[in-house]
Amino acid sequence: MHTKVVVITGASSGIGAALARLLGSQGHRIVLAARREKELTEVAQSSGSAALAVVTDVTRRADMHHLKDAAMDRFGKIDVWINDAGRGITRSVLELTDDDVDQILRVNLISALYGMQVIVPYFQEQGRGHVINISSFLGVVPLVTFRSIYCAAKAALNSLTATLRMEMRANYPDIHVSLVMPGVVTNDFGKNALGGTPQMPPGARRTMPGQTSEEVAALIGGLLDHPQSELFTNPATIEIVKKYLQNKDAFEEGMLQKK
């Protein structure tokens, strides 16, 4: 394993925080970004002496440029950029307000776009690098309808990531672009969602066992030395995707069953 400089957004809690602690323990030099200064500082302090905390609003392009500059000033290079910031929502499609849509798109989609636009030109200059976008299985299969615009934002992120990957593959083969799609993760993501989180539908509870943030982080960490295009962190989701794509009507009816 080669020591790398890794930028992680959304690092004050959940998967981002678990990933920071893991990579820090492995000797990587990490730059952590989030809005909540207290929580971010606590994560940095538990992630090794080389961890740098940079208070960042990922929905502001200028903040993302500042994050990159802070990482370069401290470490002189960046090897991996991980767009992990995200937020959920509990709204049906018909209940969504303009503000709901704007908030969720900015945190889950626009922030990752800013991250890619900030770091990829630098990677192009040095001829190598790795972008890792943390999406969601819900961007492929909208298993829970109350996530509505979150599912849509992640589906758009999936598409943007694939498009960038194809572009880099054609012209910059040493720039890797990975998409990570966790399923249910047992952290505070649901509690922090706009509108809270109701009980999962019966079909979803039967279908999707949960993973811890640490389990997901370990799989993401493996991408640093072994990049791959797409990663479903929960093996159960692969079969769900197959069933969904083969017969969406049957799949949706199955999700409505009570037992």
The Cα 102–Cα 74 span in angstroms is 33
CB-CB contact of 43 with 17 (8 Å): yes
| Residue of 114, 150, 172, 244 marked active site | 150
Cα dihedral sign, 49-113-189-57: positive
- 150 flagged as catalytic: yes
The Cα 79–Cα 90 span in angstroms is 36
CB-CB contact of 118 with 65 (8 Å): yes
CB-CB contact of 104 with 153 (8 Å): yes
The Cα 172–Cα 42 span in angstroms is 37
203 phi/psi in degrees, rounded to 5: -60, -40
Q: Which residues are marked as active site?
A: 150
